[in-house]
Structure 1
Amino acid sequence: MATNSRTWFYSRPEPRPYYIEERVNHTLWNNRIQGVFMSCTQAANPIKMEGTLNGMPMFFEWEPGLYFILRMGEERKDIIGTIRQILFGLKPSFAYQDVDSMYVIEWHTDSGEARWRDIQGNPQYQGLRRLTAPTAT
């Protein structure tokens, strides 16, 4: 099955965990992220998945067409770059460490200004840094 993020991020997938798992996992494997299997833990928005990559925990959360959040046990630039490719070149908006010491990258189709304002200064988000320039208002 050839699939890409158009079938699960840029359009709303059917809210069936198996279909979401099949599409996302095939997309990851087709983009050379082997050794991972993501399980769908929530098929309604926001969609959530969890899995491991060679023993490292990974979590996905997204609302189709709006944002994608990757949480992982350590900063892996190769994974971040591949997710960017999977999302058709969408640049990551910001990065931080959460209360569970997970490394988090967020991609937003609208640059994430509202989210940035919400989390800025919140002690739950350590090392918060912007990865793309803010949009003019």
Structure 2
Amino acid sequence: MKNIIRLLLLAVALTAFSGTVSAQSNKQRLTREQLAEVQAKHIAKEMAMDKATSQRFIKTFCQFQRDIWALGPRPKQSHSQMTDEETGQALKARFAHSRKILDLRQKYYAIYSEFLTQKQIQRVYELERQMMEHLSKRNRRANR
């Protein structure tokens, strides 16, 4: 009888433990839209923006991110076995993509200038870069 109770308790404990483990491994990842909004809210909070400025910033920041995503990923650089002509085309494609990103950054700089000071815009860029570095480091650790 004691062995049956021990076996039953062991089965219950294992079942409870496996439920906890599976719940942790099934964490839902944020969509990139959600992540952009979280980033924008963090920046607004970090900079202590008032409610109206914060709402406008979040909306503008999220639209900027959507515009960047619409450009598609950066063209890949495959160094292996490319001719000089192919390498030149790949470089020109990267330049064109970089130019599009720069054009968007200038467009949104003008929009930010309508409701943020120049120092605030600089701080937004700093915070955004810090977050991207943090996410990049986290992603590298997760892929090891």
Q: Given the two structures, how large is their TM-score scaled by the length of structure 1? A: 0.24
Q: Which protein has the larger Cα radius of gyration, Structure 1 or Structure 2? A: 2
Structure number with higher relative contact order (C-alpha < 8 Å, ≥ 6 residues apart):
2
TM-score relative to the length of structure 2 = 0.23
Compare the two structures and name the one with the higher strand fraction.
1
Structure with the higher helix share, 1 or 2: 2
